[in-house]
Amino acid sequence: MSIRAFISGCASLSLSSAETEFFSKVNPWGLILFKRNCDSPDQIKNLTSQFRASVKRKDAPVFIDQEGGRVQRLNQPHWRKYPSADVFGKLYSRSPILALRSARNAGRLMAEELEELGITSSCLPVLDVPQPGSHDVIGNRAYGLRPEVVVALAHAHMAGLMEGGVLPVMKHIPGHGRSTVDSHHNLPIVKANRAELEGFDFLPFTALADCPMAMTAHVVYTALDADNPATLSRKIIREVIRKTIGFTGLLITDDLSMKALGGSFAEKCERALNAGCDMLLHCGGDMGEMEQVAAAAGPLGGKAMRRAKQALKARRKPLPYDKKAALKDLEASLSA
């Protein structure tokens, strides 16, 4: 059966019989987990195994948002606490070497935890650069207020993750930092001119364009396409993300359930795919919505299939590392 071009959520701690049947029938490329899906290590191992058994693919990717700080789906007591990205940024202002080492080691420790659970990808780094007056939906999830700081720390964080056998997903391309509203609830409209965007917002994405996967921004940039948010904009995806920024990896939509996007799921899916997104993302775990996304997704093929295969090839066997030193760095960063 053909793989369908979407990543799905699920409702609870294990797959229901209806979800197992659904996944077996429609064969989504991947699964994404949220707090509602995470209780204990054994439970998550069972859930990821259930999913892979249902789609009959041992390499089917499983994603999670495990950034650290307030966006951390796995929490104590079973998993470590990780600092938000801005902690590394503040540390960088005092000791760049320590900050870079700590970010890399945090990524490596995080990867070890995820890999043991059967989770193959974490949706980080956040490459958005906040601006004065912007909404705190990004806030302390950003590494800093200067693109060069974001690039340095995100590269280190991403490298640690990949050294541990877990794939990163950079977000939210081409930049969510200027948004004055939360795209979970409203459609952000950014009025900066193209020169401002290229000289500031795009820089982290350009510098890390070799990341295997990226997640789009549900944001309208009036200077680029006044009528469509980036996720649904053929012009932004083809001309900005693929050419100006130079991203050649797998392009995944942000969650299609977010209120920034209007219309039915069928309409949103069709517009995203026609615009040039490779993969649809639906996170809510609502079966009725999942069925609509699956129907609209269609089979994964062509350039999208090649990019999906290339992304999975970027995953490596975990490399050895000094865990005691990494834990010491993590403690230092949390104390900071």
Distance CA 182, CA 172 (A): 13
The pair of structure tokens assigned to 318 is 């975990």
Listing DSSP states for 22-84 in one string gives HHHHH-EEEEEE-GGG-S-HHHHHHHHHHHHHHHT-TT--EEE-EEETTEESS-TTTS-----
User: Which residues have a Cβ under 8 Å from the Cβ of 201 and sit 6 or more positions away?
Assistant: 128, 129, 147, 174, 175, 177, 178, 192
Is-catalytic flag, 184? yes
3-state secondary structure at position 28: strand
User: Which residues have a Cβ under 8 Å from the Cβ of 24 and sit 6 or more positions away?
Assistant: 54, 55, 56
Tracing tokens 């969510």 back to the chain, one arrives at 176
Residue from 86, 128, 225, 254 carrying the catalytic annotation? 254
Is-catalytic flag, 135? no
Say how many C-beta atoms besides its own lie within 10 A of residue 332's C-beta: 17
Task: Answer whether 55's CB lies under 8 Å from 15's CB.
Answer: no
Residue from 42, 136, 184, 185 carrying the catalytic annotation? 184
**At residue 198, what is the residue type?**
E
Tracing tokens 């195994």 back to the chain, one arrives at 49
How many Å separate Cα 195 from the centre of its chain?
26
Distance CA 160, CA 50 (A): 28
How many Å separate Cα 75 from the centre of its chain?
18
The pair of structure tokens assigned to 178 is 């200027």
Which of the residues are catalytic? 184, 254
